[in-house]
Amino acid sequence: MKRSLFIERVRSELRTRHYSLQTEKTYLYWIRHFILFNDKRHPEVMGNADIERFLSYLAVNRKVSAATQNQALCAIVFLYRYIIQRDTENLSYGFAKRPQNVPTVLAPNEVTAILNQLKGKYWLITALLYGCGFRIHEALSLRIKDIDPHNRSIFIFRGKGRKDRYTLLPEILVASIQHQMQEAQHVHEADLAEGYGSTSVPPALYRKYGKALTDFAWQYLFPSTTRCQHPYDNYICRHHLHSTAYAKHLRKAVKASNIHKRVTAHTFRHSFATNLLLNGSDIRTVQELLGHSDLRTTEIYTHVIGERRAGTRSPVDSLF
């Protein structure tokens, strides 16, 4: 079987099993890399020794992180389990243990300093990340219909782990959100005038709703600046703003605000959780707002605020 046909077979299997488009891209990247590393041999004729040699190369020569190494191994396990139909057993290398890092958080004055360097939709995205505890994908994929100003709530459709949830809508952001809705409506009306107007949705929804996807309610709150071809169904649509566009503006804002911390979009989610706990919110409420399945994931923020060290005084403080 030609390599291109083999890769298409893997792609088809990923889509049949409803893996996300990002996971599809990632798995295909590592499967291609695995095949090229092993002199373009077919995976059917390769075994544990070849997989172990590849994982060792990633860890020793490329010095990838534990998370990246695990990602590559997941792709290879998928390849052998569902395409080659052979389980990878008795490997010398299992999944690498990821370090338990305490997350970086921002103080309220630091968040304010960064917000002061942003404008328009990039200001609003940052305010939503900090005010609602969104992951960046959740914020960018918000649709008009997901926002309920009357009940002060926002619906998150298929967050991490394909779970739906509701979170709070900060009252102070309602006016800015309504302004952004007007901007999105102008973009949508221009699309309709040119004979387009469909938004991008998962394949199952496209088949279910069809022409209804040209309704304004289905449009993204933060639409992309250009239209594109849908990767599954090939119709012309408008996707949401890409995360790299936001990251570019955030980097500039952090640099201009003179904050010497590593700040990403996810930092605002960490800061949201920490701030709620500092102000007395119940940890299970925070767990629900963040969409964590396991309370232990939420408990990491108790380390950030020093809950387990509350009242403990350093010996040096008694010297002066």
* Catalytic site includes residue 303: no
Task: For residues 43 and 38, give the distance between their C-alpha atoms in angstroms, rounded to a whole number.
Answer: 9
* Catalytic site includes residue 179: no
* Catalytic site includes residue 158: no
How many CA atoms are closer than 13 Å to the CA of 297, on its beta-carbon side? 10
- Active-site residue (options: 160, 242, 255, 309): 160
203 contact partners, CB below 8 Å, separation of at least 6 = 232, 233
Closest CA to 195 of 218, 181, 211: 211
* Catalytic site includes residue 266: yes
- Active-site residue (options: 165, 227, 230, 266): 266
- Active-site residue (options: 121, 240, 249, 269): 269
* Residues 22/23/29/32 CA torsion (nearest 10 deg): -140
Provide the β-strand partners of residue 238: 199, 227
Task: For residues 310 and 118, give the distance between their C-alpha atoms in angstroms, rounded to a whole number.
Answer: 36
Any idea what the Cα angle at residue 167 is, between residues 166 and 171, rounded to 5°?
130
Residues labelled as active-site residues? 135, 160, 266, 269, 292, 301
